Amino acid sequence: MDQKMEGLLTAALLRGDRDAVLSLTAVAERDQLRLCKNSVLHGLTEGCLKGEVPFCQLTAAAQAAAALEDGALPPVACCGAVEGNTSATGQHFLLMLLRAWGMPALDLGCSVAPDRFLDAVAEHDFSFVLCTLFSPKDMESVRRLDAEARRCGLRDRFLLVVSGAEPGPDSPADFQSRSAAAAAEWVVSRWRS
Amino acid sequence: MEKLTVFGPEHFPVCPDREEVFSWLACAEGLACRPAFEAAWAEAEDALRRAALPQAVIVREGESMLTVFLTLGPSVEPAVAELFRQERYVAGSLLNTMSDELLFQMDRRSVTLLSELCGREGLFIASRLEPGTETLDAFPLSRFEPIRSVCPWASLSPRGVIDPVKSMLYGVTLSEHACGFTALHDCSRCSQKGCPYRDAKCRCE
């Protein structure tokens, strides 16, 4: 895909202009389109992490990019608000960003008990478990998830990612950040490597 | 004042502040995505009006303590979740932010209503207790039970997480004296029991 087309597609994505995105992509080959979408969103996400691109702009781009999805892909991760966290906001944003990156995740919902996360890992062989927190107190649920996973012998099978709180000295997470964008970017970079 | 006082939706019009919502989203004029959010505003506001059931429940405990529960009802969060499930992220983000902004409008309005309510008995609001910062003892779970008689779908977890999420809980202490704060007022010698500023040094120092 040439630079002009990539620029037009980027502008349309940022506007959240679904119709323009679809009409532009009608002239692009499918694989090239996927590469372009990923490179555009990679740039947007990096900019977002540096504070250069507002989160609202990424939201609009994610919505437009979701319209380009080729079809239902099997999830490669599971995501849920930990047990005790009934707020789905952080989880919504995390799933949205993963979706925009072309990385589908299984939505486990809110207040998810540790054994539900582990059942999903065992059944689907997920490499990533993403947990969202509402308050620092929710770390207790993350520690129980980690302990239960070690007891079942599943802990080595996945990377544990926590979003919604800064890491503490005893966090069992492989990555943790208050920012959903940072967590999503870390997961996607590992997924692609 | 009754032990239980309820202020219904008629006291809390569902009218999100457009510029405030866009400010919270950091969606400034001139941003490439601004037109997308403006185009989704009407749909999100309509969804909020259909889903929101704003009300305040005030529980009196003894002579000098009130617990205040503000909520938009149980249907707003599912409406947000449905928009995200449909990958309509712009509308979902708008609805989520609108509902938060509306909740803070209710917070400000509740202070006015409380002041009027207390004023009828010659009482004044002395201090505000926030569950996140005050000791857990200030908000035992049993204090939530009267609220459930009005809002049976509401709950408070042992960790202090309210369900539905679009809700707020705080306490106020009452006093027979209005706050006497001036530049020369010595808070440490004030008669306002429960006011956190009583631990402060004299303001005139």
| B139 three-class SS | coil
* B29 touching A (Cβ < 8 Å): no
Which ipTM did the prediction report? 0.75
Asked if the Cβ–Cβ distance from B161 to A66 is below 8 Å, we say: no
Beta strand A105-112 with A77-82: parallel, antiparallel or unpaired?
Answer: parallel
Strand A175-177 versus strand A159-163 pairing type = parallel
Give strand pairing partners of B128: B172
Largest Cα span, chain B:
59
Query: In Å, how far are A48, A160, B64 from A41, measured between CA atoms?
Result: 10, 24, 55
- pLDDT number for residue B191: 64
* Residue B186 reports pLDDT greater than 50: yes
**Residues of A whose CB is below 8 A from B156:** none
Q: Give the model's pLDDT for residue A46.
A: 65
Say what the pLDDT of residue B181 is. Answer: 60
Q: Which amino acid is at B6?
A: V
Amino acid at B81: A
**The pLDDT of residue A59 is above 60:** yes
Question: What distance in Å separates the CA atoms of residue B17 and residue A36, rounded to the nearest whole number?
Answer: 37
B136 reaches A (C-beta below 8 A): no
Mutate which of A10, A13, A63 to test chain B, going by most B C-beta atoms within 10 A? A63
DSSP chain A: --HHHHHHHHHHHHHT-HHHHHHHHTTS-HHHHHHHHHHHHHHHHHHHHTTSS-HHHHHHHHHHHHTT--S----SEEEEEETT----HHHHHHHHHHHHTT--EEEEEEEE-HHHHHHHHHHH--SEEEEE-SSGGGHHHHHHHHHHHHHHT-GGGSEEEEESS---TT---SEEES-HHHHHHHHHHHHH-
Q: Which residues on A lie below 8 Å from B89 (Cβ)?
A: 59-60, 62-63, 66, 96
pLDDT of residue B142: 74
CA B166 to each of CA A109, B200, B205: distance values in angstroms, whole numbers, following the listed order: 17, 34, 42
- The pTM for the full model equals 0.81
Q: Which of B32-46, B100-114, B153-167 shows the lowest mean pLDDT across its residues?
A: B153-167
Please report the pLDDT score of residue A1 as a whole number. 55
Cis preceding linkage at B54, omega within 30: no
pLDDT for res A156: 96
A 10 A CB-CB count for B201 gives: 10
What's the pLDDT score for residue A93?
87
The position carrying tokens 């209005």 is B178
Q: Which residue, among B72, B85, B89, would best test binding to A if mutated, counting the most A CBs under 10 Å from its CB?
A: B89
Closest CA to B164 of B66, B78, B58, B46: B78
Is the minimum CB–CB distance between A92 and chain B shorter than 8 Å?
Answer: yes
Q: Are A158 and A121 in contact, with CB atoms under 8 Å apart?
A: yes
Confidence of residue B129 (pLDDT cuts 50, 70, 90): confident
Query: What's the mean pLDDT in A111-140?
Result: 92
pLDDT recorded at residue B189: 67
Q: For residue range A14-56, what is the model confidence (pLDDT) as tens digits?
A: 666 767 776 776 665 666 666 666 666 666 666 666 666 777 8
More confident residue, B200 or A174: A174
Omega before residue B164 within 30° of 0, cis: yes
DSSP SS3 for A146:
helix
Mean pLDDT computed over every residue of chain B? 84
pLDDT at residue A68 in the model? 64
Q: Are A128 and A163 in contact (CB under 8 A)?
A: no
Res B205 pLDDT > 50: no
Choose between B140 and B5: higher pLDDT: B5
Which secondary-structure segment (H or E) carries A45?
helix A30-49
Integer Cα distance of A186 and B126 in angstroms? 47
